[in-house]
Chains A and B, each alone.
Chain A
Amino acid sequence: MPLEEPIQNLKEDHTEKEVMINIEGLHKSFGSNHVLNGFNMKLHRGENLVIMGKSGSGKSVMIKCLVGLIQPDSGRVEVMGRKITSLNQQSLDELRADIGFLFQGSALYDSMTVRENLEFPLRRHKNKLGVITDTTPLVLEALENVGLPHTIDLMPEELSGGMKRRVAIARTLILKPKIILYDEPTSGLDPITAKEIIELMRNIQRKYGTSSLIITHDVDCARVISERMILLVDGINYAEGTYAELSASADPKVQAFFKK
Protein backbone atom coordinates (compact mmCIF):
# COMPACT_ATOMS: atom_id res chain seq x y z
CA MET A 1 0.00 0.00 0.00
CA PRO A 2 1.33 3.47 -0.79
CA LEU A 3 2.48 5.85 1.89
CA GLU A 4 0.50 9.03 2.18
CA GLU A 5 3.76 10.92 2.38
CA PRO A 6 7.25 9.44 1.84
CA ILE A 7 9.32 9.69 4.98
CA GLN A 8 13.08 9.27 4.64
CA ASN A 9 14.74 11.91 6.82
CA LEU A 10 16.72 10.25 9.58
CA LYS A 11 17.57 11.79 12.95
CA GLU A 12 21.19 10.71 12.62
CA ASP A 13 22.47 9.59 9.26
CA HIS A 14 23.77 6.03 9.48
CA THR A 15 23.37 5.28 5.79
CA GLU A 16 27.07 5.79 5.08
CA LYS A 17 27.97 3.20 7.69
CA GLU A 18 28.39 -0.53 7.17
CA VAL A 19 25.16 -2.45 6.67
CA MET A 20 24.88 -5.02 9.46
CA ILE A 21 21.56 -6.55 8.40
CA ASN A 22 20.08 -6.47 4.94
CA ILE A 23 16.66 -7.96 4.18
CA GLU A 24 15.21 -7.85 0.68
CA GLY A 25 11.86 -9.19 -0.45
CA LEU A 26 11.31 -11.46 2.54
CA HIS A 27 8.29 -13.74 2.18
CA LYS A 28 7.03 -16.20 4.75
CA SER A 29 3.71 -18.03 4.92
CA PHE A 30 2.26 -20.55 7.32
CA GLY A 31 -0.26 -22.48 5.26
CA SER A 32 -2.65 -19.94 3.81
CA ASN A 33 -1.55 -17.28 6.28
CA HIS A 34 0.86 -14.96 4.44
CA VAL A 35 2.79 -13.33 7.26
CA LEU A 36 5.56 -11.54 5.38
CA ASN A 37 4.91 -10.32 1.84
CA GLY A 38 8.17 -8.86 0.60
CA PHE A 39 9.58 -7.12 3.66
CA ASN A 40 12.73 -4.98 3.16
CA MET A 41 15.04 -3.58 5.77
CA LYS A 42 18.60 -2.37 6.35
CA LEU A 43 20.24 -1.97 9.76
CA HIS A 44 23.46 0.05 9.83
CA ARG A 45 26.36 -0.15 12.26
CA GLY A 46 25.57 1.51 15.60
CA GLU A 47 21.97 2.20 14.67
CA ASN A 48 18.87 1.69 16.81
CA LEU A 49 16.10 0.59 14.48
CA VAL A 50 12.61 -0.02 15.84
CA ILE A 51 10.11 -2.17 13.99
CA MET A 52 6.54 -1.68 15.08
CA GLY A 53 3.56 -3.74 14.11
CA LYS A 54 0.34 -5.15 15.50
CA SER A 55 0.31 -8.55 17.21
CA GLY A 56 0.51 -11.24 14.58
CA SER A 57 1.96 -8.89 11.98
CA GLY A 58 5.07 -11.04 11.53
CA LYS A 59 7.60 -9.05 13.60
CA SER A 60 8.79 -12.07 15.56
CA VAL A 61 8.80 -14.25 12.43
CA MET A 62 11.03 -11.70 10.70
CA ILE A 63 13.46 -11.49 13.61
CA LYS A 64 13.65 -15.31 13.81
CA CYS A 65 14.47 -15.47 10.09
CA LEU A 66 17.50 -13.30 10.89
CA VAL A 67 19.09 -15.93 13.13
CA GLY A 68 18.01 -18.95 11.15
CA LEU A 69 15.34 -20.11 13.60
CA ILE A 70 12.75 -19.89 10.80
CA GLN A 71 13.51 -20.49 7.14
CA PRO A 72 11.99 -17.85 4.84
CA ASP A 73 10.02 -18.96 1.78
CA SER A 74 11.91 -16.50 -0.40
CA GLY A 75 13.95 -13.32 -0.18
CA ARG A 76 17.46 -12.34 0.78
CA VAL A 77 18.53 -12.24 4.44
CA GLU A 78 22.10 -11.10 5.02
CA VAL A 79 23.74 -10.53 8.38
CA MET A 80 27.15 -8.84 8.28
CA GLY A 81 27.37 -9.66 4.60
CA ARG A 82 26.64 -13.36 5.01
CA LYS A 83 23.55 -14.91 3.52
CA ILE A 84 21.79 -16.76 6.33
CA THR A 85 20.01 -19.33 4.18
CA SER A 86 23.17 -20.57 2.50
CA LEU A 87 25.26 -21.05 5.67
CA ASN A 88 26.01 -24.52 7.01
CA GLN A 89 25.31 -25.25 10.69
CA GLN A 90 28.85 -24.48 11.86
CA SER A 91 29.03 -21.15 10.02
CA LEU A 92 25.56 -20.25 11.26
CA ASP A 93 26.59 -20.97 14.85
CA GLU A 94 29.72 -18.82 14.41
CA LEU A 95 27.61 -15.97 13.07
CA ARG A 96 25.13 -16.36 15.92
CA ALA A 97 27.96 -15.65 18.38
CA ASP A 98 27.94 -12.07 17.05
CA ILE A 99 24.18 -11.70 17.45
CA GLY A 100 22.53 -11.26 20.82
CA PHE A 101 18.87 -12.22 20.99
CA LEU A 102 16.60 -11.04 23.78
CA PHE A 103 13.48 -13.18 23.67
CA GLN A 104 10.02 -11.87 24.47
CA GLY A 105 9.60 -13.84 27.70
CA SER A 106 13.32 -13.66 28.63
CA ALA A 107 13.69 -17.42 27.90
CA LEU A 108 15.98 -18.10 30.85
CA TYR A 109 16.63 -21.81 31.33
CA ASP A 110 14.44 -22.84 34.28
CA SER A 111 16.64 -25.72 35.39
CA MET A 112 19.81 -23.59 35.60
CA THR A 113 20.98 -20.89 38.00
CA VAL A 114 21.63 -17.36 36.73
CA ARG A 115 25.35 -18.20 36.61
CA GLU A 116 24.71 -21.34 34.52
CA ASN A 117 22.37 -19.41 32.25
CA LEU A 118 25.15 -16.93 31.50
CA GLU A 119 27.82 -19.61 31.23
CA PHE A 120 25.80 -21.59 28.71
CA PRO A 121 26.58 -19.42 25.63
CA LEU A 122 30.18 -19.01 26.83
CA ARG A 123 30.72 -22.76 26.84
CA ARG A 124 28.99 -23.18 23.48
CA HIS A 125 30.88 -20.47 21.60
CA LYS A 126 34.42 -21.45 22.57
CA ASN A 127 35.74 -20.36 19.17
CA LYS A 128 34.86 -16.74 19.82
CA LEU A 129 36.38 -16.24 23.26
CA GLY A 130 38.86 -19.13 23.38
CA VAL A 131 39.12 -21.60 26.25
CA ILE A 132 37.95 -19.93 29.45
CA THR A 133 39.01 -21.66 32.64
CA ASP A 134 37.23 -19.29 35.01
CA THR A 135 33.96 -17.88 33.72
CA THR A 136 33.09 -16.03 36.95
CA PRO A 137 34.69 -12.64 36.02
CA LEU A 138 32.84 -12.58 32.68
CA VAL A 139 29.54 -13.61 34.29
CA LEU A 140 29.94 -10.98 36.98
CA GLU A 141 30.84 -8.28 34.45
CA ALA A 142 27.70 -9.05 32.44
CA LEU A 143 25.56 -9.04 35.59
CA GLU A 144 27.11 -5.78 36.81
CA ASN A 145 26.18 -4.21 33.47
CA VAL A 146 22.54 -4.90 34.28
CA GLY A 147 22.89 -4.11 38.00
CA LEU A 148 22.26 -7.63 39.27
CA PRO A 149 25.57 -9.17 40.42
CA HIS A 150 23.92 -10.42 43.63
CA THR A 151 21.58 -12.75 41.72
CA ILE A 152 24.40 -14.92 40.37
CA ASP A 153 23.43 -18.03 42.34
CA LEU A 154 19.64 -17.61 42.22
CA MET A 155 17.28 -19.67 40.10
CA PRO A 156 15.15 -17.86 37.48
CA GLU A 157 11.98 -18.65 39.47
CA GLU A 158 13.35 -16.52 42.32
CA LEU A 159 13.56 -13.41 40.10
CA SER A 160 10.87 -10.86 39.30
CA GLY A 161 9.79 -10.25 35.68
CA GLY A 162 12.02 -7.18 35.38
CA MET A 163 15.02 -8.97 36.90
CA LYS A 164 14.53 -11.89 34.51
CA ARG A 165 14.57 -9.47 31.59
CA ARG A 166 17.79 -7.88 32.91
CA VAL A 167 19.47 -11.27 33.36
CA ALA A 168 18.37 -12.19 29.83
CA ILE A 169 20.01 -8.96 28.59
CA ALA A 170 23.16 -9.94 30.51
CA ARG A 171 23.08 -13.31 28.75
CA THR A 172 22.87 -11.65 25.35
CA LEU A 173 25.75 -9.33 26.31
CA ILE A 174 28.15 -11.94 27.59
CA LEU A 175 29.48 -12.80 24.14
CA LYS A 176 29.93 -9.10 23.30
CA PRO A 177 27.71 -9.26 20.21
CA LYS A 178 27.88 -6.74 17.37
CA ILE A 179 24.12 -6.83 16.86
CA ILE A 180 21.39 -7.19 19.48
CA LEU A 181 17.88 -8.24 18.50
CA TYR A 182 15.23 -7.29 21.05
CA ASP A 183 11.88 -9.04 20.70
CA GLU A 184 9.30 -7.02 22.67
CA PRO A 185 11.78 -6.00 25.41
CA THR A 186 9.16 -4.24 27.54
CA SER A 187 6.16 -6.51 27.09
CA GLY A 188 4.56 -7.75 30.30
CA LEU A 189 6.45 -5.23 32.45
CA ASP A 190 5.04 -2.40 34.55
CA PRO A 191 5.76 1.15 33.21
CA ILE A 192 8.55 1.85 35.73
CA THR A 193 10.38 -1.42 35.04
CA ALA A 194 9.84 -0.92 31.31
CA LYS A 195 11.54 2.49 31.57
CA GLU A 196 14.46 0.90 33.44
CA ILE A 197 14.84 -1.71 30.72
CA ILE A 198 14.77 0.97 27.99
CA GLU A 199 17.41 2.97 29.87
CA LEU A 200 19.49 -0.18 30.17
CA MET A 201 19.23 -0.78 26.42
CA ARG A 202 20.41 2.78 25.73
CA ASN A 203 23.35 2.37 28.12
CA ILE A 204 24.37 -0.86 26.42
CA GLN A 205 24.21 0.78 23.02
CA ARG A 206 26.36 3.68 24.26
CA LYS A 207 28.88 1.44 26.02
CA TYR A 208 29.35 -1.25 23.39
CA GLY A 209 28.29 0.57 20.21
CA THR A 210 26.07 -2.33 19.18
CA SER A 211 23.56 -2.14 16.37
CA SER A 212 20.11 -2.80 17.76
CA LEU A 213 16.97 -4.05 16.11
CA ILE A 214 14.02 -3.60 18.44
CA ILE A 215 10.68 -5.26 17.79
CA THR A 216 7.95 -3.65 19.83
CA HIS A 217 4.42 -2.36 19.92
CA ASP A 218 5.23 -0.10 22.87
CA VAL A 219 5.08 3.47 21.53
CA ASP A 220 6.94 4.91 24.53
CA CYS A 221 9.77 2.46 24.02
CA ALA A 222 9.94 3.36 20.33
CA ARG A 223 9.91 7.09 21.10
CA VAL A 224 12.80 6.91 23.54
CA ILE A 225 15.08 4.45 21.84
CA SER A 226 14.52 4.68 18.10
CA GLU A 227 16.70 6.53 15.66
CA ARG A 228 14.66 5.18 12.80
CA MET A 229 11.40 3.24 12.70
CA ILE A 230 9.67 0.89 10.31
CA LEU A 231 5.96 0.17 10.57
CA LEU A 232 5.17 -3.38 9.56
CA VAL A 233 1.65 -3.67 8.15
CA ASP A 234 0.27 -6.56 6.08
CA GLY A 235 3.71 -8.14 5.87
CA ILE A 236 5.45 -5.15 4.25
CA ASN A 237 7.32 -2.10 5.54
CA TYR A 238 4.38 0.25 5.23
CA ALA A 239 6.07 3.38 6.55
CA GLU A 240 9.58 4.34 7.50
CA GLY A 241 11.16 7.33 9.24
CA THR A 242 11.97 8.89 12.59
CA TYR A 243 9.51 8.80 15.48
CA ALA A 244 8.71 12.47 15.01
CA GLU A 245 8.02 12.03 11.33
CA LEU A 246 5.83 8.96 11.67
CA SER A 247 3.88 10.26 14.64
CA ALA A 248 3.05 13.40 12.62
CA SER A 249 1.84 11.39 9.63
CA ALA A 250 -1.78 11.82 8.57
CA ASP A 251 -2.00 8.28 7.19
CA PRO A 252 -4.71 6.53 9.25
CA LYS A 253 -2.81 3.23 9.32
CA VAL A 254 0.27 5.01 10.64
CA GLN A 255 -1.77 7.08 13.08
CA ALA A 256 -3.33 3.91 14.49
CA PHE A 257 0.04 3.04 16.04
CA PHE A 258 0.37 6.33 17.88
CA LYS A 259 -3.15 6.73 19.26
CA LYS A 260 -3.18 6.46 23.04
Chain B
Amino acid sequence: MSASLQIVEKAKTFLIEIGDLSFFAGRFFKELLKAPFEFKELLRQCYQLGYRSLVLVGVTGFILGLVLTLQTRPTLIEFGAVSWMPNMVGISIVRELGPMITALICAGRIASGIGAELGSMRVTEQIDAMEVSGTNPFKYLVVTRILATTLMLPLLVIVGDAIALYGSALVENFKGQVSFQLYFNRAFDALGYSDLIPATVKSFFFGFVIGLVGCYKGYYSKKGTAGVGVAANTAVVFTSMLLFIIDFVAVFVSDIFYDL
Protein backbone atom coordinates (compact mmCIF):
# COMPACT_ATOMS: atom_id res chain seq x y z
CA MET B 1 0.00 0.00 0.00
CA SER B 2 1.38 3.41 -0.93
CA ALA B 3 2.08 6.06 1.71
CA SER B 4 -0.77 8.30 0.54
CA LEU B 5 -3.24 5.41 0.68
CA GLN B 6 -2.05 4.57 4.16
CA ILE B 7 -2.64 8.15 5.28
CA VAL B 8 -6.15 8.12 3.79
CA GLU B 9 -6.85 4.80 5.50
CA LYS B 10 -5.63 6.11 8.87
CA ALA B 11 -7.66 9.30 8.50
CA LYS B 12 -10.72 7.19 7.69
CA THR B 13 -10.14 5.01 10.77
CA PHE B 14 -9.70 8.11 12.92
CA LEU B 15 -12.96 9.64 11.66
CA ILE B 16 -14.85 6.37 12.20
CA GLU B 17 -13.40 6.29 15.72
CA ILE B 18 -14.60 9.85 16.34
CA GLY B 19 -18.05 8.88 15.05
CA ASP B 20 -18.25 5.84 17.33
CA LEU B 21 -16.99 7.92 20.24
CA SER B 22 -19.74 10.49 19.57
CA PHE B 23 -22.39 7.76 19.73
CA PHE B 24 -20.82 6.52 22.95
CA ALA B 25 -20.96 10.07 24.38
CA GLY B 26 -24.60 10.33 23.25
CA ARG B 27 -25.42 7.12 25.08
CA PHE B 28 -23.68 8.50 28.19
CA PHE B 29 -25.96 11.57 28.25
CA LYS B 30 -29.03 9.40 27.64
CA GLU B 31 -28.17 7.00 30.48
CA LEU B 32 -27.07 9.83 32.78
CA LEU B 33 -30.64 11.09 33.12
CA LYS B 34 -32.21 7.66 33.67
CA ALA B 35 -32.82 6.11 37.11
CA PRO B 36 -31.43 4.29 39.04
CA PHE B 37 -28.51 6.55 39.92
CA GLU B 38 -25.42 4.74 41.11
CA PHE B 39 -24.35 7.27 43.79
CA LYS B 40 -22.34 4.78 45.84
CA GLU B 41 -20.32 3.69 42.83
CA LEU B 42 -19.89 7.32 41.75
CA LEU B 43 -18.42 8.19 45.16
CA ARG B 44 -16.13 5.16 44.99
CA GLN B 45 -14.91 6.24 41.56
CA CYS B 46 -14.37 9.84 42.73
CA TYR B 47 -12.17 8.42 45.48
CA GLN B 48 -10.34 5.99 43.16
CA LEU B 49 -9.83 8.36 40.25
CA GLY B 50 -9.62 11.69 42.08
CA TYR B 51 -8.19 11.24 45.54
CA ARG B 52 -5.76 8.52 44.45
CA SER B 53 -4.33 10.82 41.76
CA LEU B 54 -3.59 13.60 44.25
CA VAL B 55 -0.01 12.59 45.08
CA LEU B 56 0.98 12.23 41.43
CA VAL B 57 -0.63 15.54 40.47
CA GLY B 58 0.88 17.24 43.52
CA VAL B 59 4.43 16.01 42.88
CA THR B 60 4.20 16.88 39.18
CA GLY B 61 2.79 20.33 39.94
CA PHE B 62 5.52 21.03 42.49
CA ILE B 63 8.28 20.06 40.05
CA LEU B 64 6.59 22.05 37.27
CA GLY B 65 6.62 25.20 39.44
CA LEU B 66 10.25 24.66 40.46
CA VAL B 67 11.51 23.97 36.92
CA LEU B 68 9.52 26.74 35.26
CA THR B 69 10.91 29.29 37.72
CA LEU B 70 14.48 28.02 37.57
CA GLN B 71 14.47 27.93 33.76
CA THR B 72 12.98 31.38 33.18
CA ARG B 73 14.79 33.18 35.98
CA PRO B 74 18.10 33.86 34.11
CA THR B 75 16.25 35.31 31.10
CA LEU B 76 14.07 37.54 33.26
CA ILE B 77 17.16 38.73 35.19
CA GLU B 78 18.86 39.52 31.90
CA PHE B 79 15.94 41.78 30.93
CA GLY B 80 15.62 43.22 34.47
CA ALA B 81 12.14 41.74 34.73
CA VAL B 82 12.61 39.21 37.52
CA SER B 83 10.01 41.03 39.61
CA TRP B 84 7.46 39.87 37.02
CA MET B 85 8.19 36.26 37.82
CA PRO B 86 5.04 35.65 39.96
CA ASN B 87 2.83 37.24 37.30
CA MET B 88 4.37 35.20 34.50
CA VAL B 89 4.33 31.91 36.42
CA GLY B 90 0.82 32.53 37.78
CA ILE B 91 -0.70 33.21 34.37
CA SER B 92 1.12 30.45 32.55
CA ILE B 93 0.27 27.87 35.18
CA VAL B 94 -3.36 28.81 35.73
CA ARG B 95 -4.21 29.41 32.09
CA GLU B 96 -2.34 26.65 30.37
CA LEU B 97 0.31 24.53 32.03
CA GLY B 98 -1.65 23.49 35.11
CA PRO B 99 -4.75 22.19 33.31
CA MET B 100 -2.80 20.67 30.43
CA ILE B 101 -0.10 18.93 32.46
CA THR B 102 -2.65 17.66 34.99
CA ALA B 103 -4.87 16.40 32.17
CA LEU B 104 -1.96 14.64 30.45
CA ILE B 105 -0.88 13.03 33.72
CA CYS B 106 -4.46 11.89 34.32
CA ALA B 107 -4.70 10.62 30.74
CA GLY B 108 -1.68 8.42 31.52
CA ARG B 109 -2.95 7.26 34.88
CA ILE B 110 -6.75 7.34 34.67
CA ALA B 111 -7.62 6.78 30.98
CA SER B 112 -5.22 3.85 30.70
CA GLY B 113 -6.42 2.48 34.05
CA ILE B 114 -10.07 2.66 33.03
CA GLY B 115 -9.25 1.20 29.60
CA ALA B 116 -7.40 -1.73 31.14
CA GLU B 117 -9.96 -2.31 33.89
CA LEU B 118 -13.02 -2.30 31.65
CA GLY B 119 -11.13 -4.19 28.93
CA SER B 120 -10.23 -6.87 31.43
CA MET B 121 -13.83 -6.99 32.68
CA ARG B 122 -15.02 -7.37 29.09
CA VAL B 123 -12.70 -10.26 28.18
CA THR B 124 -13.33 -12.10 31.46
CA GLU B 125 -17.10 -11.74 30.96
CA GLN B 126 -17.54 -9.67 34.13
CA ILE B 127 -19.57 -7.13 32.16
CA ASP B 128 -21.85 -9.90 30.89
CA ALA B 129 -22.15 -11.25 34.44
CA MET B 130 -23.17 -7.80 35.61
CA GLU B 131 -25.85 -7.59 32.94
CA VAL B 132 -27.20 -11.03 33.84
CA SER B 133 -27.34 -9.84 37.47
CA GLY B 134 -29.92 -7.24 36.44
CA THR B 135 -27.52 -4.31 36.29
CA ASN B 136 -27.07 -1.95 33.40
CA PRO B 137 -23.27 -2.21 33.03
CA PHE B 138 -23.08 0.97 30.96
CA LYS B 139 -24.70 2.92 33.78
CA TYR B 140 -22.79 1.21 36.56
CA LEU B 141 -19.34 1.21 34.96
CA VAL B 142 -19.28 3.90 32.29
CA VAL B 143 -21.56 6.68 33.52
CA THR B 144 -20.03 6.67 37.01
CA ARG B 145 -16.47 6.78 35.69
CA ILE B 146 -17.06 9.55 33.17
CA LEU B 147 -18.92 11.60 35.78
CA ALA B 148 -16.16 11.02 38.33
CA THR B 149 -13.38 12.16 35.98
CA THR B 150 -15.44 15.17 34.84
CA LEU B 151 -16.00 16.26 38.44
CA MET B 152 -12.56 15.39 39.79
CA LEU B 153 -10.28 16.84 37.12
CA PRO B 154 -11.06 20.53 37.83
CA LEU B 155 -10.37 19.85 41.52
CA LEU B 156 -7.09 18.14 40.67
CA VAL B 157 -6.17 21.08 38.44
CA ILE B 158 -6.81 23.53 41.29
CA VAL B 159 -4.65 21.46 43.65
CA GLY B 160 -1.95 21.06 40.98
CA ASP B 161 -1.95 24.81 40.24
CA ALA B 162 -1.68 25.69 43.93
CA ILE B 163 1.23 23.31 44.49
CA ALA B 164 3.01 24.51 41.31
CA LEU B 165 2.71 28.11 42.51
CA TYR B 166 4.06 27.05 45.89
CA GLY B 167 7.04 25.37 44.17
CA SER B 168 7.70 28.54 42.21
CA ALA B 169 7.39 30.69 45.35
CA LEU B 170 9.85 28.42 47.11
CA VAL B 171 12.50 29.04 44.42
CA GLU B 172 11.88 32.79 44.50
CA ASN B 173 12.03 32.77 48.28
CA PHE B 174 15.28 30.81 48.25
CA LYS B 175 17.03 32.56 45.34
CA GLY B 176 15.47 36.01 45.29
CA GLN B 177 14.58 36.53 48.95
CA VAL B 178 10.95 37.20 47.95
CA SER B 179 8.52 36.49 50.78
CA PHE B 180 5.71 33.98 50.18
CA GLN B 181 3.12 36.65 50.91
CA LEU B 182 4.59 39.06 48.36
CA TYR B 183 4.94 36.30 45.79
CA PHE B 184 1.33 35.15 46.10
CA ASN B 185 0.02 38.74 46.19
CA ARG B 186 1.81 39.46 42.90
CA ALA B 187 0.74 36.18 41.34
CA PHE B 188 -2.96 36.60 42.22
CA ASP B 189 -2.97 40.31 41.26
CA ALA B 190 -2.07 39.24 37.75
CA LEU B 191 -4.93 36.77 37.51
CA GLY B 192 -8.47 37.67 36.49
CA TYR B 193 -11.72 35.92 35.65
CA SER B 194 -10.57 35.74 32.04
CA ASP B 195 -7.82 33.40 33.24
CA LEU B 196 -9.77 31.37 35.76
CA ILE B 197 -13.08 30.76 33.95
CA PRO B 198 -11.74 29.37 30.65
CA ALA B 199 -9.19 27.24 32.53
CA THR B 200 -11.85 25.78 34.82
CA VAL B 201 -14.33 25.18 32.00
CA LYS B 202 -11.76 23.42 29.86
CA SER B 203 -10.74 21.28 32.84
CA PHE B 204 -14.28 19.87 32.92
CA PHE B 205 -13.97 19.02 29.22
CA PHE B 206 -10.56 17.46 29.81
CA GLY B 207 -12.01 15.29 32.58
CA PHE B 208 -14.94 14.30 30.41
CA VAL B 209 -12.68 13.27 27.52
CA ILE B 210 -10.35 11.28 29.80
CA GLY B 211 -13.27 9.29 31.21
CA LEU B 212 -15.04 8.99 27.88
CA VAL B 213 -12.10 7.64 25.87
CA GLY B 214 -10.90 5.35 28.68
CA CYS B 215 -14.38 3.85 29.02
CA TYR B 216 -14.96 3.64 25.26
CA LYS B 217 -11.69 1.81 24.63
CA GLY B 218 -12.18 -0.56 27.55
CA TYR B 219 -15.89 -1.21 27.07
CA TYR B 220 -15.43 -2.28 23.46
CA SER B 221 -12.14 -4.08 24.01
CA LYS B 222 -11.70 -7.16 21.83
CA LYS B 223 -9.24 -9.90 20.99
CA GLY B 224 -8.76 -11.41 24.45
CA THR B 225 -6.06 -10.33 26.89
CA ALA B 226 -4.00 -8.73 24.11
CA GLY B 227 -6.96 -6.42 23.55
CA VAL B 228 -6.69 -5.19 27.15
CA GLY B 229 -3.19 -3.87 26.51
CA VAL B 230 -4.31 -2.31 23.25
CA ALA B 231 -7.28 -0.67 25.01
CA ALA B 232 -5.04 0.83 27.71
CA ASN B 233 -2.46 2.01 25.21
CA THR B 234 -4.83 3.52 22.65
CA ALA B 235 -6.84 5.15 25.43
CA VAL B 236 -3.78 7.21 26.42
CA VAL B 237 -2.79 8.06 22.84
CA PHE B 238 -6.30 8.99 21.74
CA THR B 239 -7.03 10.96 24.92
CA SER B 240 -3.77 12.93 24.66
CA MET B 241 -4.53 13.85 21.07
CA LEU B 242 -8.07 14.96 21.94
CA LEU B 243 -6.76 16.97 24.90
CA PHE B 244 -4.59 19.07 22.60
CA ILE B 245 -7.46 19.57 20.17
CA ILE B 246 -9.78 20.64 23.00
CA ASP B 247 -7.07 22.94 24.35
CA PHE B 248 -6.69 24.60 20.97
CA VAL B 249 -10.47 25.08 20.67
CA ALA B 250 -10.66 26.39 24.24
CA VAL B 251 -7.92 28.97 23.65
CA PHE B 252 -9.55 29.98 20.37
CA VAL B 253 -12.98 30.43 22.00
CA SER B 254 -11.48 32.23 25.04
CA ASP B 255 -9.76 34.59 22.68
CA ILE B 256 -13.12 35.49 21.11
CA PHE B 257 -14.82 36.06 24.48
CA TYR B 258 -11.99 37.64 26.47
CA ASP B 259 -9.72 39.05 23.76
CA LEU B 260 -6.65 37.42 25.25
| Residues of A that sit less than 8 Å from B by CB | 64, 67, 69, 89, 93, 96-97, 99, 101, 103-105, 107-111, 120-121, 124-125
Contact = CB atoms under 8 A, between A and B. Distances in A.
Interface stretch (B97-105, B130-138, B183-191, B231-239): B130-138
B92 interface: no
A67 B121 contact: no
Interface in B112-153: 117, 120-121, 124-126, 128-136
A110 B125 contact: no
B131 A69 contact: yes
A89 B129 CA distance: 16
Contact of B134 (A64, A108, A110, A125): A125
Contacts of A97: 134
B203 to A, nearest CB: 27
A110 B121 contact: yes
A249 B110 CA distance: 57
Contacts of A103: 125, 128-129
By Cβ-Cβ distance, the 4 closest A-B pairs, closest first, are A107-B129, A124-B134, A93-B134, A121-B133
A124 B135 CA distance: 6
B121 A69 contact: no
Nearest to A168: B129
A69 B125 CA distance: 11
12 contacts: A64-B128, A69-B131, A97-B134, A104-B125, A105-B124, A107-B125, A107-B128, A107-B129, A110-B120, A110-B126, A120-B135, A125-B134
A69 B130 CA distance: 11
Contact of B133 (A104, A110, A125): A125
A67 B132 contact: yes
Interface of B: 117, 120-121, 124-126, 128-136
Chain B binding site: helix, strand, loop or mixed by DSSP?
helix
Contact of B126 (A64, A109, A124): A109
A96 B134 contact: yes
Nearest to B40: A123
Contacts of A67: 132
A235 B134 CA distance: 29
B133 A107 contact: no
Contacts of B128: 64, 69, 103, 107
Nearest to B133: A121
Contacts of B131: 69
Contacts of A89: 136
A191 B187 CA distance: 70
Contacts of A107: 124-126, 128-129
Contacts of B133: 96, 120-121, 124-125
Nearest to A100: B132
A101 B134 CA distance: 12
Contacts of B136: 89
A107 B134 CA distance: 15
Contacts of B135: 120, 124
A92 to B, nearest CB: 9
B6 to A, nearest CB: 24
A102 to B, nearest CB: 10
Contacts of B130: 109, 120
Contacts of B120: 110
A110 B119 CA distance: 12
A120 B133 CA distance: 8
Contacts of B117: 111
Contacts of A121: 133-134
A64 B129 CA distance: 11
**Residue from B117, B133, B136 whose CB has the most chain A CB atoms within 10 Å:** B133
Nearest to A70: B128
A160 B131 CA distance: 25
Nearest to B131: A69
A89 B126 CA distance: 19
Given A97-B134, A103-B129, 13 more contacts: A67-B132, A96-B133, A104-B125, A107-B126, A107-B129, A108-B126, A109-B130, A110-B126, A120-B130, A121-B134, A124-B133, A125-B133, A125-B134
A111 B141 CA distance: 12
A107 B117 CA distance: 13
B132 A96 contact: yes
A210 to B, nearest CB: 16
Nearest to B129: A107
A108 B128 CA distance: 11
A165 to B, nearest CB: 13
Contacts of B121: 109-110
Nearest to B44: A111
